[in-house]
Homo-oligomer: A and B are copies of this chain.
Amino acid sequence: VVDRLQEIISSAWGKSMHQWASDLFPICRSLTGEGVRETLRYFQKLLPGLVIHEVPSGTQAFDWTVPNEWNIREAWIEDSNGNRIVDFANHNLHVMGYSAPVNQVMELEELQEHLYSLPDQPDYIPYITSYYKERWGFCLTHRQRQQMKPGKYRVYIDSTLAPGYLNYGELVLPGQTKDEILLSTYVCHPSMANNELSGPVLACALAQWLQSDPRFVRRRHTYRILFLVETIGSIVFLSRGAEHLKRNLKAGFVLTCVGDDRDISFLPSRLGSTLADRVALNVLENHTERFTRYSFLDRGSDERQYCSPNMDLPVVSIMRSKYGEYPEYHTSGDDLSLITPDGLYGALRLHAAAISILEQNDIYRLTVMGEPQLGKRGLYPTISTKESGAIVRDMMNVIAYCDGRSDILQVAQHTDLSALRVVELMKPLIDAGLLEKVT
């Protein structure tokens, strides 16, 4: 059962996603600035309909204000011999995100207050930001830091923090109805791979697949695919589109941390019983060997906004190793070697399965009284084996719960089957006129 998902979506996508991540890895992204725009333009080439929005600094969005735009050109620390011992050119994690400009000579002791390293992970550069309080700082490996000798150092950051724009990308794929599926990801993290280039490349793959797969030409749902920056980006988006989503959103997924090949993780919606929860759980229970089930109390990405109490949207997260739960999280260890084509494909196919089910999640009713006679319609397997017995049993079980009230996900739950298997078993029954859709 686990493997059947390759019929829905090809594993070839794994390599494409990893290639996109590799292309995007070096760019220095942040909440705002050129790195975000460069990233969005990259996706725009892959997704021609993608619209890049810009929102001026200072714009109010609910309880928040769009911050100034941050750009950085150069940053380093030189020792008294003119050796550049830390250089932004080598790794863009070396500078604290949103660092103010600085150009100073100071003693190591004073400099220490502006240095960030990880004593327990001495080979990783930490990822540190200070979006809402003006500071400057450098991040480095603990090993580097320990080698720094007392003396004078020149610190230089050539950055600007000035009115500009917050950007985000939005792609709308119209469906036959106004009912919406939301795919939301974010592009504000600099050179890290699982968190977070895996989410954007998954969003891109899903968007291309939805447009290319003949099964989705006549799709029921409208798909809204968002490339935001975390927190302020989703707040800005919601401040413009919350009422529309409240009216139309059927299910949404925050795409984040979907690239490694270790764990599979689930984060439910606020109350845990929306359509998004139901479809995700059916997919995870039937198409993974195992997964870790988190509580909404463990949330940490944009579901914080989508599921805030005055929104309460049906949004969940299917992840690989969840943010905060793997050792390389928010360090330079979260690099391109951590994510794999297989890991990315593993997440892709779970999301594709969820989408495929949502497109078909109707309510059916049996058109005859009592059990139908399958034999006269040639619906019994022609050869009788142990497996064929199981097929007949599953088919009769599906029939038993097509009661005109239960949607396919509920039928799947009653019958202990994957919803995709239910759909497959129902097909010949629908063709034979034994099941009909309730509208």
Contact = CB atoms under 8 A, between A and B. Distances in A.
A429 to B, nearest CB: 12
Interface in A228-246: 231, 234-235, 238-239, 242
Contacts of A376: 132
Interface stretch (A166-174, A185-193, A361-369): A361-369
A307 interface: yes
Nearest to A405: B309
Nearest to A231: B371
B297 A372 contact: no
Interface string A284-324: 00000000000011000000110111111000000000000
A370 B308 contact: yes
Contacts of A297: 393, 397, 415-416
Interface centre among A234, A296, A308 (most CB of B within 10 A): A308
Interface string A175-219: 000000000000000000000000000000000000000000000
Nearest to A297: B397
Contacts of A234: 370
Contacts of A311: 369-370
A366 B397 contact: no
Contact of A369 (B238, B369, B370, B404): B238
The main secondary structure of chain A at its interface with chain B is mixed
B375 A132 contact: yes
Contacts of A375: 132-133
Contacts of A399: 308-309
Given A297-B416, A369-B239, A370-B238, A307 B63 contact: no
A275 interface: no
Contacts of A307: 400
Contacts of A63: 368-373
A132 B373 CA distance: 10
A116 to B, nearest CB: 12
B239 A305 contact: no
A239 B416 CA distance: 30
A418 to B, nearest CB: 15
A238 B371 CA distance: 11
A401 interface: yes
Contact of A365 (B309, B372, B403, B404): B309
A42 interface: no
A65 to B, nearest CB: 8
Contacts of A326: none
Contacts of A344: none
Interface residues on A, range: 35 or more
A301 B310 CA distance: 45
Contact of A62 (B61, B369, B393): B369
Contacts of A309: 365-366, 399-404
A305 B370 contact: yes
Contacts of A133: 375
A371 B304 contact: yes
A351 interface: no
A305 B402 CA distance: 14
A276 to B, nearest CB: 17
A207 to B, nearest CB: 25
23 contacts: A62-B369, A63-B368, A63-B371, A63-B372, A63-B373, A64-B370, A64-B373, A132-B375, A234-B370, A238-B369, A242-B369, A270-B400, A297-B393, A297-B415, A304-B400, A308-B369, A308-B371, A309-B403, A310-B365, A310-B366, A310-B369, A310-B370, A312-B403
Interface of A: 61-64, 132-133, 231, 234-235, 238-239, 242, 270, 296-297, 304-305, 307-312, 365-366, 368-373, 375-376, 393, 396-397, 399-404, 415-416
Given A63-B370, A305-B370, 16 more contacts: A62-B369, A62-B370, A63-B368, A63-B369, A133-B375, A234-B370, A238-B369, A238-B370, A270-B401, A297-B397, A297-B416, A307-B400, A308-B371, A309-B365, A309-B400, A309-B404
Report the 6 A-B pairs with minimum CB-CB distance, sorted nearest first: A309-B403, A63-B368, A62-B369, A305-B370, A63-B372, A62-B370
